[in-house]
Structure 1
Amino acid sequence: MKQLCSRQVHLDFHTSENIPGIGARFDPQDFANTVKEAHVNSMTVFARCHHGWLYYPSERFPELVHPHLEYKNLLLDQVRALHKKGINAPVYITVQWDYHSASTHPEWLIRKKDGSHEGGPFTEPGFYQSLCVNTSYWEFLKAHTAEVCELLGDELDGIFFDIVGIRPCWCASCRAEMKKLGIDAADDMAVRRFAKFVMDRFKREMSEVVHKYKKDCTIFYNAGHIGPCTKESRDAYSHFELESLASGAWGYLHFPITARYARTLGKDCMGMTGKFHTEWGDFHSLKNLAALEFECFRMLSYGFAASIGDQLEPNGTLGKAAYRLIGNVFGQMEEREEWARPSKALVEAAVLTNEDPNYEQQLSDSLMGASQMLEELAIQFDVIDSEMDFSAYPLLFLLDDFVVTESVRKKLDGYVKQGGRIIACAKGGLSEENKYPSCFGTEYCGETKQYPDFIVAAGALAAGLEPENEYVIYQQGVSLDPTAGKTILTARAPYFKREGDCFCSHRYTPSAKGAAYPAAVKNGNVILFSHPLFGQYRSNAPFWCKKLVSNAIDCLLPTRLVRHNGPSTMTVSLLDQEDKGRAAVHILSYIPVRKSATIDIVEERTVLHNVTLKLELPKAFSSARLVPENIPLPMENGSVTIPEINGYAIVELS
């Protein structure tokens, strides 16, 4: 597998036809020097933008060259200037958003079921009127891409195709093909599946077009998320770039989920954030240094390359302050990346995602809650789908709403029979026929009628909670009937459900102190909770939900890869570098804070002292040191104590 350049800038250049002097102040040498000084070794530059304009002297489409492009050879000279400094320069081509094409080719527009086009009105600002690649627009895209490949020749490093999403379409071309294939255009889900088929076909065919010109160039198709929606078309990609601007629509929880899934697909990965305080198009802003450090160092802690989004100003000059900021972060990455790339994540568990492969970025509350909770517990886990191999993981987590097919139900039974362990919550593992796998030793008896109800803190699962206290679970659970399994945690019901004119106090009715019923059942290597603990944690993070899950993990997996005495805000990632005979422990201590109404803010590093790691790794290591500082650390019985962690620390084990 060819490894990506590790420190990239994604240089947006979506530039209006209403702005004069495009590229007028572009200086190739100053441009490349600025990039080089910022420790950047790859920069994505633009062939065509969302406004629909080209930034090179096109012979096939001269009418699409930006009308005010003063620096005529902008794209080619950007590439050559970067190459002179040893910097890669993949090329950006927009796909589904192109304002000029949308305005002049209505036959290319994606149509909704009622015939209207996707995206906002043309009378309002924005280039979000999406185009359908199943129309003659495909011929234009092929010709345009071929021209870019011919223009650059051997100088072509790669192509980044943007806005390549699964968008159901009822245009004339799509309706005709659906009719030919016997697809009911009135069936929304059938149309969505067809849209995915069309997009997967587009990716395969476009990669064939590019590879005719250069076999080894990189190719990536961006839809803002990598997940089960990507798996079927992964052979069309050379690698994955995980767009995840935490200060934008994605938030800080998105990246860990998509990263833990993407790394299972067998390709090199790159995370992508931005230098912007908010997100794309926020020209005159700078992200806090600590936030950019956290986002890039987190990518590195997964063994990924990093990409930082910027936007070139219309006159063709780079913002010096932005590249001082980027250079500050990338300089630190350059010193540390040898302990991350290449590497393989050391894992002990997997979360089975409930994402539908026909949708992008369909992250449920239970998936986000599970990811947050397990990160806080320092569990080393992947996110996988139900078609993947379970046997590589000692422990599986089934989300609150993870409904399974009959084949997956049997697969789970086989996994447990071979020694696998499962922790499931509420409807996790339930089939459409409302049956749990036989390995659960439990029958489903419907949803609880009275809730919120209250778990009783008694037994092994309640270790660390106040003994015999009743802890509320706010969300509705399910009723369980243990058959072969044993009840290991109980709950009690309220006097009545709060509804209509039957209520008590401000929020919910308290416990009636009545008969207890199963809140968790253990059957061999399976623990099933009756409540949606992961979704509940996403909703308002009760510490007792995390404690219940942590104790369940200890019941099934007493030996964890890593435990620590640091705060729950500290994250730990274990990377194996077998070829170098070592492992690396990446520790991050940055705390996003909701200081504003819209985005989380990281303003400073959080310094920690005397953090002890207790490691139980598959291989024995006898020495430890902080790198790149080269500070030896005493190691005794698998325990390492780090005197100080200032935001980011890497412990090399050898």
Structure 2
Amino acid sequence: FEFNTKNDLEDLPTTWGGYDKFPLRAKFFHREKKPIVAMSGKFHTSWGEFGGFKSPDAIKFEAASMIAFGSRCNFGDQLHPLGRMDKQTYENIASAYEYIEKIEQYGIGGVPVATLGIVPSFELAADEGLARVLMEEQIDFDICLPGDDLRRFETIVIPSVAGLIDPMRLELEVFLGNGGRVVTLGDGILDADEQPALRCNATYNGPGQFDMDFTALTDGGDRPRELPNTPFLNYSSALRFTPGPDAEIIAWVHEPYFSRTYAKYCGHQNSPFRPEPAGHPAAFRSENLTVFAHALDRMYYAHGAIAHRAFFASVLRPQHPNPMIDVALPSAGRVSLLHQPDERRYVAHLLYGPPISRGRCSVIEDLVPIRNVRVRLALPVEVASLTLVPDEIELKSQRTTPTDSLAGTVNTVEAIVPEFTGHCAVVARY
């Protein structure tokens, strides 16, 4: 990309994999420090669809999402061979651009900021599965690559691909030694030789021996309401570790009676779980390193089980106690925190536009109001004011005494967004 003057990110979310691809790509390409242009279309499906239309609300939401992740907007059409512009197409697009005129100054030129970093594996299921879990939990993140200055992060998550730690092992060891926290998923804890890449106070005994298994939480701590009080299914098996005496066990694996084959089966799908734990953990912690034995990212990408997302988030949050943005939204809500240093402001974008699966398309049709949303910002500056955009309403805020974190002094400010439909932004000026 070194010769590009800008980066065009082509994305047609209705049929090209959904609305969660663009945010991850935008965060990655912001590293190039070049303008980003999101390239979408007016089509219901994809390029070349004469007479196909997204709804005006869908185009408006998609355009707002582009701005929210720091991108410029571009919506394509295909000209009829008669050379006549289609009036309906541009009426639909116009309604979106009327809104963009009100908010574009709060997105274009902004850069994503977060104290949670994820190391991309460039494997689709691992990266997008992890990103979906985080976005659905409104846990904002940025991209972390070998050679980066890790001091801006509080927590770093490694997806389920072996060897990712190898080129940054020394940096991660220093990061852990300085109080940083690392969370690994599945094979992410392993080096290229399939041995633990970081000291984890456990002996690695190899991959799982069954086609699937189950997770049961230990009795300590609060159990999220989404997690069943019984072993829950994993669609692939866990890495097997024997934890050391000082390891904190978060959850145990329960193995099935057998792998389902033509010779052995019980019911229409997987075998049931054994009542006793297998003796190896589903998740454990050694000092500042947390290890998930399952590839929860890949499983969530393929199956979308709420229990897997809730399990991961409930373990991650105590290891990431100082997120720069904390928002309470339904799972279809998305957040993005941008910094515009030249304007001396941070901008917290909130989005809510649940797509519905219809045939082969993800369709956004119903943008419903969301009310009384708590927004908490933890920033390295003293905030002078909070303004709700595009309404330009000054928000009443509550502030706490500045505190010290791994990334430096943090000033916390909290406010309530009374209502928004589709998109809004909270502008924190300093």
- TM-score, normalised via structure 2 length: 0.90
Shift of residue 461 of structure 1?
6.8
Give the distance between the partners of 1:274 and 1:497, measured in 2 at CA.
46
CA distance in 2, matches of 1:410, 1:388: 12
Matched residue count: 413
| CA-CA distance at 1:262 after TM superposition | 0.6
The CA distance in 2 between the partners of 1:494 and 1:487, in whole Å, is: 20
- SS of the residue 1:440 aligns to: coil
| SS of aligned partner of 2:100 | helix
SS in 2 for 1:235: coil
Letter in 1 for 2:230: N
2:409 maps to what in 1? none
Moved more, 375-384 or 234-243: 375-384
Letter of the 2:4 partner, please give it.
Y
Are positions 1:307 and 2:45 aligned together?
Answer: no
Q: Given the superposition, is the C-alpha separation of residues 462 and 442 from structure 1 closer, same or farther in structure 2, using an over 3 Å criterion?
A: farther
* Alignment deviations for residues 609-631 of structure 1 (CA, whole Å, 9 cap, x no partner): 11112222222324322223222
Q: Which residue of 2 aligns with 1:270?
A: 37
Deviations along 1:614-650, whole A, 9 cap, x unmatched? Answer: 2222223243222232222221232211121111111
The reply on whether 1:421 has 2:181 as its aligned counterpart is yes
1:648 paired with 2:409, answer: no
| 1:459, distance to aligned residue in structure 2 (A) | 4.5
Q: Which among 263, 266, 269 is matched to residue 501 of structure 1?
A: 263
Is contact 1:462-1:548 (8 Å) kept?
no
SS at match of 1:534: helix
Cα 1:641–1:577 change in 2 (3 A) is same
Residue 254 of structure 1 pairs with residue 18 of structure 2: no
Task: Say which SS state the counterpart of residue 412 (structure 1) adopts.
Answer: helix
The 5 Å alignment of 1:191-590 reads: 234-355=1-122, 363-386=123-146, 388-404=148-164, 406-459=166-219, 463-465=223-225, 468-483=229-244, 485-515=247-277, 516-590=279-353
Given that 1:264 and 1:384 are in contact with CA atoms closer than 8 Å, whether structure 2 keeps it comes out as no
How far did residue 307 of structure 1 move? Answer: 0.9
| Partner-residue secondary structure (3-state), 1:500 | coil
| 1:289 Cα offset (Å) | 1.2
- What is the distance in 2 between the residues matched to 1:243 and 1:440? 41
Distance in 2, matches of 1:459 and 1:421, equals 23
User: How far did residue 257 of structure 1 move?
Assistant: 1.9
Contact 1:521-1:527 within 8 A present in 2 as well: yes
- SS of 2:189's equivalent in the other structure is coil
Larger Rg: 1
Q: Cα deviation per residue 1:225-265 (whole Å; 9 max; x = unaligned)?
A: xxxxxxxxx22110111001112334323212211111112
Counterpart of 2:408 in structure 1 is: none
Letter in 1 for 2:35: D
Deviates more, 1:525-534 or 1:386-395: 386-395
1:458 deviation in Å? Answer: 2.3
Does the 8 A contact of 1:264 with 1:382 survive in 2? Answer: no
Deviation at 1:444, TM superposition (A): 2.5
Question: What secondary structure sits across from 1:545 in the alignment?
Answer: helix
Counting strand residues as a fraction of each chain, which structure ranks higher?
2
Amino acid at match of 1:316: G
* Deviation of 1:335 (Å): 1.2
Deviations 1:102-150 (A, max 9, x none): xxxxxxxxxxxxxxxxxxxxxxxxxxxxxxxxxxxxxxxxxxxxxxxxx
What is the one-letter code of the residue matched to 1:295? E
Deviation at 1:279, TM superposition (A): 0.9
Relative distance call for 1:441 and 1:265 in structure 2 (3 A) is farther
Shift of 1:337: 1.0
User: How far is 1:517 from its partner?
Assistant: 2.5
Compared CA separation, residues 277 and 639, structure 1 to 2 (3 A): same
Equivalent position amino acid for 2:283 in 1 = A
Contact 1:413–1:437 (8 Å) recurs in 2: no
Measure the CA separation in 2 of the matches of 1:423 and 1:481. 18
Is residue 602 from structure 1 mapped to residue 369 from structure 2 by the alignment?
Answer: no
Is the 8 Å Cα contact of residues 354 and 385 (structure 1) preserved in structure 2? no
Aligned residue number for residue 592 of structure 1: 355
2: distance between equivalents of 1:538 and 1:394?
25
Stretches of structure 2 that go unaligned for 5 or more consecutive residues are 400-412
Query: What is the letter of the counterpart of residue 53 of structure 2?
Result: L
Displacement after TM superposition at 1:506 (Å): 2.0
Q: Which amino acid aligns with 1:439?
A: R
Q: In 2, Cα distance between the equivalents of 1:429 and 1:530?
A: 9
Measure, in 2, the Cα distance between the counterparts of 1:490 and 1:335. Answer: 51
**Which residue matches 1:617?**
379
Evaluate the alpha carbon distance shift between residue 392 and residue 565 of structure 1 in structure 2; reply closer, same or farther with a 3 A threshold: closer
CA contact (8 A) 2:195 2:204 kept: yes
Aligned partners of 1:289 and 1:372: how far apart in 2?
25
User: Which amino acid letter does the alignment assign opposite residue 34 of structure 2?
Assistant: K
Q: Percent of counterpart pairs with the same letter? A: 24
Q: State the 1:468 CA deviation.
A: 4.8
Equivalent-residue separation in structure 1 for 2:87 and 2:267 (angstroms): 59
Select the residue among 385, 393, 396 that pairs with 1:631: 393
Question: SS where residue 206 of structure 2 aligns?
Answer: strand
Distance 1:329 1:468 in 2: 46
C-alpha separation between the residues in 2 aligned to 1:461 and 1:564? 22
Give the Cα–Cα distance (whole angstroms) in 1 for the partners of residues 196 and 382 of structure 2. 39
| Deviation of 1:572 (Å) | 1.1
Deviations 1:75-96 (A, max 9, x none): xxxxxxxxxxxxxxxxxxxxxx
Deviates more, 1:606-615 or 1:326-335: 606-615
For the residue of structure 1 that corresponds to 2:383, the secondary structure is: coil
- Runs (4+) of structure 1 moved beyond 4 Å? 459-462, 465-468
For 2:152 and 2:323, the matched residues in 1 are separated by 15
Q: Conserved in 2, the CA contact under 8 Å of 1:610 and 1:643?
A: yes
Residue 376 of structure 2: SS of its match in structure 1? strand
- Segments of 5+ residues of structure 1 without an aligned counterpart are 1-233, 356-362
Question: What displacement does 1:568 show?
Answer: 1.1
8 Å Cα contact 1:410-1:437 kept in structure 2:
no
RMSD over aligned Cα atoms: 2.1
What's the CA shift for 1:367? 1.1
Q: Is the 8 A contact 1:244 1:273 kept in 2?
A: yes
Which residue identity does 1:333 align to in structure 2? I
Change in Cα spacing, 1:344 to 1:592, as seen in structure 2 (3 Å) is same
Structure (1 or 2) with the greater helix fraction:
1
Tell me the CA shift for residue 460 of structure 1.
Answer: 5.3
Q: Distance in 2 between matches of 1:368 and 1:304?
A: 20
